[in-house]
């Protein structure tokens, strides 16, 4: 009497390898996409932070101007001094950052990113601050620059 061979069920080794390769390709694509989304998020967050720093400096300068402070540009246009009722506020560029010195006593850094250039100009009652931030772009792996211009209105 002959024995009947049992029918084996399951997957062959080749089928399992093919499934693993396809899964690896799909996961690789998802990881690559997620990396690109993260890099774009970081770049947008950095640029937003730079713009917020410049906007905060503008608010501080506008406040000094609104309190009756007289604005005097520094000779090199790398800073401005407001002299008013509450004392003296000096905004200036030093060591790759914009600083505020109040009444020649307290001093604080106003920017979180490297500032490669900051120039103040004044024309017809408007004080313009032109700040150029430098940062490492994680997409291109090079140094990029973000220029922000903010105006302060000196006369009401």
Residue 29 pLDDT greater than 90, yes or no: yes
**In this predicted model, what pLDDT tens digit does every residue of 48-60 receive, in sequence order?**
999 999 999 999 9
Integer distance in angstroms from the first to the last C-alpha of the chain?
112
Residue 156 pLDDT greater than 60, yes or no: no
Average pLDDT over the chain reads 89
């Amino acid at each position: 009497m002959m024995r009947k061979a049992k029918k084996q069920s399951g997957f062959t080794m080749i089928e399992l390898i093919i499934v693993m390769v396809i899964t690896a390709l799909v996961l690789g694509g998802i990881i690559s996409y997620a990396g690109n989304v993260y890099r774009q998020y970081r770049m947008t967050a950095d640029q937003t932070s730079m713009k917020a720093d410049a906007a905060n400096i503008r608010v501080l300068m506008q406040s000094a101007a609104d309190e009756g402070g007289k604005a005097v540009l520094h000779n090199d246009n790398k800073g401005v001094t407001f002299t008013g009722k509450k004392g003296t506020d000096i905004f200036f560029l030093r060591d790759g950052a914009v600083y505020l010195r109040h009444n020649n006593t307290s001093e604080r850094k106003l920017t979180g990113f490297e500032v490669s250039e900051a120039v103040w100009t004044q024309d017809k009652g408007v004080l313009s601050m032109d700040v150029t931030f430098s940062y490492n772009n994680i997409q291109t792996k090079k140094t990029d620059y973000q220029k922000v211009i903010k105006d302060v209105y000196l006369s009401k």
